[in-house]
Amino acid sequence: MVSQKISAFSIRRLNPFNGVLQVFSTENARALSSNGVVWEIQVLSDTPQGLWANMPFNGKEFYTFGRWTIDSGLQQVPVNPLFNVRDMIASAEQLITALSQVIDDLPFPMADIYELWLLDEQSLAPVALLTSCRKAVEMSRCDSTKWIAAERGDFSFISARLVEREQPNDDGYNPRVHASILEALIRHRGGQHHRRAWFKHSPDGTLSPYHESAPVLVPWTFPELPVTEDWEDEEARRLVADYIAWRAPQLLQLHGLGPVTRERLERIAVTQAEAVERLWRLYPEIHNKDLLNSARVEAKIRSSNRK
């Protein structure tokens, strides 16, 4: 068998932040996973030209071929008969064989080294990570102006502080009021023109301006997390803390967290035991293994009780 070029890396799922996506690819297929267990298998194939012979050829694209887990194998989805199914099966099998050999190496190294940060309009301090990409040529496709806390259809962010203030999350018009308040808070820091700039991650973990117009910031001014915890207003600080607590299981997937931050997030994350059980395989480090193992046991008990 001819050896294939293999690539394994991870990229952050941003705006809204929702953890880290693992990507494993060969020349003709790729596998994507947000938890390290269930992998979406996509195969590169010629675009079907349709039923009419005179329809133009549109090149190659990735198409979802199935879902794969190491325990259940490949669950193939229905495939358009216009595809070359035999070649797609061969590409998927080669991909899965290669992926099976590195499944214990998760998580894969972070590859999205270019970061677009929302900056404070006055101080130029980084406020929130808007998006990221692997290559500089991808920047134009990744330009984002507004920070988003949660998807429009996700109403699960409930701020403990806003609940204390008797602020409902659904006011009859907006079913995600708490997320909207947080978004307005973050965006306000960037000002009317949404001040932002691209930075590049260096091998030593520091960030440097990519464009000449970007401000030169010392490394420690960048927050460890995708949103700053540096707020003068106590109400703002508590609202952001509630957001971080809500996303703690996903934040633990980030590379480069310091031990103090990781330990703090672990203590918060275990209150969402089932999320920890789903995502722990993608944690680059675990500070308190006993604590997380207890949460995983709790999650398994809950799951068993529902059956």
**pLDDT tens, 125-144?**
999 999 999 999 999 887 77
Element (H, E) at 230: none
Distance CA 156, CA 140 (A): 31
Phi, psi for 291 (deg, rounded to 5) = -65, -45
pLDDT for residue 245 is more than 80 = yes
Q: Which amino acid is at 177?
A: V
pTM over cut 0.85 = yes
The pLDDT of 277-294, averaged and rounded, is 97
Note whether 117 and 199 are within 8 A (CB). Answer: yes
| Token reading at 128 | 């929130």
Share of the chain above pLDDT 70, in %: 94
Per-residue b or e along 12-44, where b marks 16 or more CB atoms closer than 10 Å to that residue's CB: bbbbbbbbbbbbbbbebbbbbbbbbbebebbbb
